[in-house]
Amino acid sequence: MNDAILSTDNRETSEKLFRKAVNIGVDFKLKSAVKDKDIDEATGRQIMLDPLPVKPKSVKAVLDEFMKDILPYSNNFASPKFMGFPDAGNSVAAITGAILSEFMQQNLINQSFCSPSGTFVEIAVLNWLRQVVGYKAIDPDDIFGVGGIVTSGGTASNAIAMMLARENLHAQTMQDGVGGDYYLIVPQGIGHYSVKSAQMWLGCGNKLLEVPTIDFRYDLVALEKTLRQYKGSIMGVVAYVGDSRTMTIDNLNAIVKLRDKIDTGAWLHADAAHGFSLGFSKTLRSKIAGIEKFDSITTDPHKVMNVPYTISCLLVKDPSKMATVASQSDLIMKERYAFGQITPFIGSKPWVSLKLWFAMKSIGIDGYGKIIDNRHALALKLQSLVNQSDDFLSINRVEINSVAFMYAPKKLRKDVEGLNNLNQAIHDQVLTDGIFHIHQFSIPDSGVVKKDAILYPLRYMNGNPNTTETDLKELLDYIRKLGKDIADA
C-alpha cells in the first residue's frame, strides 16, 4: 500500500508511474488503427462482472491489467481514420491542461476557499466564447453577470437552456411548480434527443411541436403557422447551428425575425454544439450570422476544438437571466463569484475549463480559424470524391464538416430498402474491423433517393488536423470493397 496515496516518501515511484501512464496515452493517440480488437459479449461480461477487489494491488499491477484487458478494445478518437465524430481530443495544450486540472483538485462551486484563481480562469474562458459567437464581452460585478456556465456536455447545456426558457415563459416556476402549457418547437426528424428529454425532465411534459423541414432546415412557412397557433404558450424555439446528423445550419436571422414578429415571449435557443466553432473562421463566420440574437447558445469545445472529453458551455445573451434558475443554500457561499449559485444539476464542480484555457491561449483565434477552415475543405474534398464516383450517393450539402453518403450500386439507386440494408451491413463491418470509424443514423431524404423516405447513410464527420486527403481516398476504397463483398455474398 506504500504507493496508494501520493506522498513525499513515494514521489519518485509515483512520478515513474505517471510518466508511464502518459507514454501509454501518447502511444494510444498516435496509433493509426481505431482499435486493436473488437470486443465480444463474453469479454464485455468478464470486465463488467469482475469480482469486488478485496486484497490490495500495486498501482503498477493495476496499470498492467488495464493495458492487457481494457486498452486494446478502446476506440482511438485521435486516429486520422476515426471519422465518425470530430472529437479528436489531441491538442497538446488541452491535454496538458487536463492533466494539471486533475492534479490541482479545485472545486469551482465556491470561489474564495475552493477555487481562488480557477473561478476567474473559467470566467475568462466563458467571456472568450461569448465573443466568438458574437455576444457582448462582459466585465461582471458578480457571478450573475458572467452570462454562461461550463457543463459536462451538450445535453446538460441544452437542459439548462430549456429551464431558462421555462422560467422565461412562466416566471417563478422554480418556486411555484409547473403548471400550464410549455410547448417547445423543434425541426422535424433532425432534433437532438437532449431537448425533448430536457422538456420532460423539467416536468413540462412531452409537448414537442415538430415543424417540417426543407433541406434539413425549418420550413419557415410551417414555422410561422406553428408560432401563430401556439402563441403565448411556447416555451422555446430550438434551432440547430449544425444539426448532429448533417451539420446543416438553420436560417438563423429568419427564425429571429419570425419570433420577434409573432411571439416575443418565446425563448430562442441555438444548439450550436458544433457550429459555434465557425466563429473562429474569417471565411466561414458568415454562415452563423444571427446566432448572436438568440437568447442562449450551446457550445461543445470537446467536439470541435481538439479538447479532451468533456466540456460544454451554455452562453446566455442576457447574463441576468441566470438568476432565474439560481440555487439557494448555506452550503454554497453567497459570495460574488461562487458558480454554485447558477449551475443547476451541478454540485462539486471540476476545473475542466483549464484545458480550454490552455488550448485557446496556445492555439489562439487565428490557429483555430485555420483548423476550422481545413476541416471544412476536407469535407468538401470527400463530397467531391463521392460526387465524381459512379457507386456513391451524396445525401447532404456540406455546411461544416459532415458528409452523409451511401454506397449505391446502379441497380439499387432507387431501392430504399436495398440501399439501407447494404449500408447498414457496411457500417456493422466497419465497426467490427476497427480500421476506420464512421457514424450511421436515420434521416429523412431531401429527394436524393426518394423524398421523405427514411435513409440510413454512412456519415463522415472529422475534426482531426492529422487526417489527410489520402485517408479520405482510402476510406472510400475500403467502403467500396466492403460493399461489393457484401452485395456479392
Cβ-contact 93, 362 below 8 angstroms:
yes
Query: What confidence category does residue 379 fall into, taking pLDDT thresholds of 50, 70 and 90?
Result: very high
Nearest to 421 by CA among 478, 488, 486: 486
Q: What pLDDT, on the 0 to 100 scale, is given for residue 60?
A: 93
Q: Is the pLDDT of residue 333 over 70?
A: no
The mean per-residue pLDDT over the stretch 138-164 comes to: 95
Q: What does DSSP say about strands 312-316 and 296-299: parallel, antiparallel, or unpaired?
A: antiparallel
Fold of 95-361: Aspartate Aminotransferase; domain 2 (3.40.640)
Measure the CA–CA gap between 279 and 476, rounded to whole angstroms: 31
In this structure, what C-alpha cell is assigned to residue 126? 466563458
Q: What pairs with residue 298 in β-bridges? A: 271, 314
Tell me: the pLDDT tens digits for 83-112? 999 999 999 999 999 999 999 999 999 898
Query: What confidence category does residue 63 fall into, taking pLDDT thresholds of 50, 70 and 90?
Result: very high
What percent of the chain lies above the pLDDT cut of 90?
Answer: 87
Q: How far is CA 167 from CA 174, 204, 395, in A?
A: 7, 11, 39
Q: What pairs with residue 271 in β-bridges? A: 240, 298
Tell me: the pLDDT tens digits for 183-208? 999 999 888 889 889 898 999 988 99
147: helix, coil or strand?
Answer: coil
The mean per-residue pLDDT over the stretch 21-30 comes to: 97
Which amino acid would we find at residue 391? D
Q: Is the pLDDT of residue 298 over 60?
A: yes
Dihedral, 77, 300, 242, 422 alpha carbons, nearest 10: 30
Q: Which segments of 320-435 does DSSP mark as H helices, in order?
A: 353-388, 416-433
Q: What pLDDT, on the 0 to 100 scale, is given for residue 176?
A: 85
Q: How far is CA 352 from CA 107, 297, 364, in A?
A: 10, 19, 18
Q: What pairs with residue 187 in β-bridges? A: 211
261 phi-psi bin (left φ>0, alpha ψ -120 to 50, beta other): alpha
Measure the CA–CA gap between 373 and 400, rounded to whole angstroms: 9
Cβ-contact 277, 304 below 8 angstroms:
yes
Residue with cell string 485557446 = 360
Q: What pLDDT, on the 0 to 100 scale, is given for residue 190?
A: 87
Q: What is the CATH number of domain 365-488?
A: 3.90.1150.170
The mean per-residue pLDDT over the stretch 265-277 comes to: 97
Which sequence spans correspond to the domains of the chain? 8-76, 95-361, 365-488
Tell me: the pLDDT tens digits for 348-366? 999 999 999 999 999 999 9
Q: Is the pLDDT of residue 223 over 60?
A: yes
| Sheet of 234-240, strand order | 148-151, 312-316, 296-299, 267-271, 234-240, 183-187, 208-211
Measure the CA–CA gap between 419 and 438, rounded to whole angstroms: 17
Measure the CA–CA gap between 116 and 36, rounded to whole angstroms: 43
